[in-house]
Structure 1
Amino acid sequence: MKKLFILLFVICFTMCTPGQKSGNTISVDLDRPEKASLFDYFRSIELIPLETSSDVLVKGITKVVAHQDYYYALDKPLCLIFVFDKTGKFLFKIGTRGQGAGEYAFIEDFNINPFSGNIEILEPYGRIHTYDLSGKFIETKRIAYPGFKVAHSLAALDTATYVSQSVFEPKKIHYFNLDEQKLLHEEFEESRWLGAFSFDPYQYHDNWFFFRPVHPVVYKMGKKQLEVAFQFDFGKYTKDGRTTVISQEAERNFTKRVEEIYDQFSYLIQAVRHNNKYIFASLLWKDQDQKRNIIYDKSTGKSKYIVDFDEKVWFNSYRGEAIIVTDEYVLMPIQWGDLEKRITKEMLDDKQKEILEELLKADMEQNPILIKYWFK
Structure 2
Amino acid sequence: MNKIVLLSILSVSMLLTGYAEKPPTPKIAGFTFIPKDKITTIKKMAYNDSRFMDSCVFIPLETSDAVLINKIVQVETYNDRYYIYDKHQETEKLRVFDSKGKFLFDISKQGNGAGEYVSMNSFFLNGKENRIGIFDPSRLAVHEYNLQGKFLQTVKHGQQVLANLKKSICAGGYFYCHFGVSHFNDMMYYKLSAKDYSIMDKWMPYPIKIVQQMGADVMGHPFSFVGNELHHVLLFSDTIYTYQDGKDQPSLLIKTGKPNIPPTYFKGKPCEHDPFRALVEVWQDKRYSPGFTELFETDRYIMVAFRFNSDFYILDKDKKETFHVLEVDDSYLHFMKSSSINENKLIKVLSQEELTYYQDYIKTSNKDYPKQIRELMANYNIEEDNPILIVYYMKQSTK
Q: TM-score range, shorter-chain basis?
A: 0.7 to 0.9
Q: Once the 2 structures are TM-superposed, how far is the Cα of residue 185 of structure 1 from its aligned partner?
A: 2.7
2:220 corresponds to 1:199:
yes
Match of 2:53 in 1: 42
Match of 1:189 in 2: 205
Which range moves more in the overlay, 362-371 or 250-259?
250-259
**Cα separation, 1, equivalents of 2:362 and 2:243:** 33
Q: Once the 2 structures are TM-superposed, how far is the Cα of residue 175 of structure 1 from its aligned partner?
A: 2.9
Q: Once the 2 structures are TM-superposed, how far is the Cα of residue 81 of structure 1 from its aligned partner?
A: 1.6
Match of 1:359 among 367, 373, 379: 379
Query: So what's the TM-score if we normalise by structure 1?
Result: 0.74
Which range moves more in the overlay, 166-175 or 194-203?
194-203
**Cα separation, 1, equivalents of 2:86 and 2:337:** 12
Larger radius of gyration: 1
Q: Which amino acid aligns with 1:279?
A: I
Match of 2:156 in 1: 142
**Aligned with 2:379: secondary structure?**
helix
Q: Which amino acid aligns with 1:71?
A: Y
Match of 1:92 in 2: 105
Question: Per the alignment, do residues 314 and 89 of structure 1 end up closer, same or farther by CA in structure 2, a change over 3 Å counting?
Answer: same
Is the 1:216–1:239 Cα contact (8 Å) retained in structure 2?
Answer: no
Question: Per the alignment, do residues 130 and 189 of structure 1 end up closer, same or farther by CA in structure 2, a change over 3 Å counting?
Answer: same
Is the 1:131–1:137 Cα contact (8 Å) retained in structure 2?
Answer: yes
Question: Per the alignment, do residues 255 and 203 of structure 1 end up closer, same or farther by CA in structure 2, a change over 3 Å counting?
Answer: closer
Match of 1:63 in 2: 74
Gaps of 5+ in 1: 1-13
2:266 corresponds to 1:245:
yes
Q: Which amino acid aligns with 2:343?
A: T
**Cα separation, 2, equivalents of 1:363 and 1:167:** 32
Question: Per the alignment, do residues 118 and 181 of structure 1 end up closer, same or farther by CA in structure 2, a change over 3 Å counting?
Answer: closer
Question: Per the alignment, do residues 317 and 63 of structure 1 end up closer, same or farther by CA in structure 2, a change over 3 Å counting?
Answer: farther
Q: Once the 2 structures are TM-superposed, how far is the Cα of residue 87 of structure 1 from its aligned partner?
A: 0.6
**Aligned with 1:16: secondary structure?**
coil
Q: Once the 2 structures are TM-superposed, how far is the Cα of residue 130 of structure 1 from its aligned partner?
A: 0.5
Query: So what's the TM-score if we normalise by structure 2?
Result: 0.71
Match of 2:299 in 1: 276
More helix by share: 1
Question: Per the alignment, do residues 201 and 123 of structure 1 end up closer, same or farther by CA in structure 2, a change over 3 Å counting?
Answer: farther
Show the 5 A alignment for 1:101-250: 101-114=114-127, 116-124=129-137, 126-144=140-158, 150-152=163-165, 153-159=167-173, 161-168=174-181, 169-177=185-193, 179=195, 183-193=199-209, 196-204=217-225, 208-226=230-248, 228=250, 230-239=252-261, 245=266, 247=268, 249-250=270-271
How many residues get paired?
Answer: 347
Q: Once the 2 structures are TM-superposed, how far is the Cα of residue 244 of structure 1 from its aligned partner?
A: 5.1
**Cα separation, 1, equivalents of 2:314 and 2:362:** 18
Q: Once the 2 structures are TM-superposed, how far is the Cα of residue 43 of structure 1 from its aligned partner?
A: 4.4
**Cα separation, 2, equivalents of 1:16 and 1:308:** 33
**Cα separation, 1, equivalents of 2:291 and 2:65:** 38
Q: Which amino acid aligns with 2:65?
A: S
Question: Per the alignment, do residues 33 and 374 of structure 1 end up closer, same or farther by CA in structure 2, a change over 3 Å counting?
Answer: closer
Deviations 1:252-271 (A, max 9, x none): 87775454444665436342
**Aligned with 2:315: secondary structure?**
strand
Match of 1:330 among 346, 370, 373: 346
**Aligned with 2:258: secondary structure?**
helix
2:103 corresponds to 1:82:
no
Q: Once the 2 structures are TM-superposed, how far is the Cα of residue 190 of structure 1 from its aligned partner?
A: 2.5
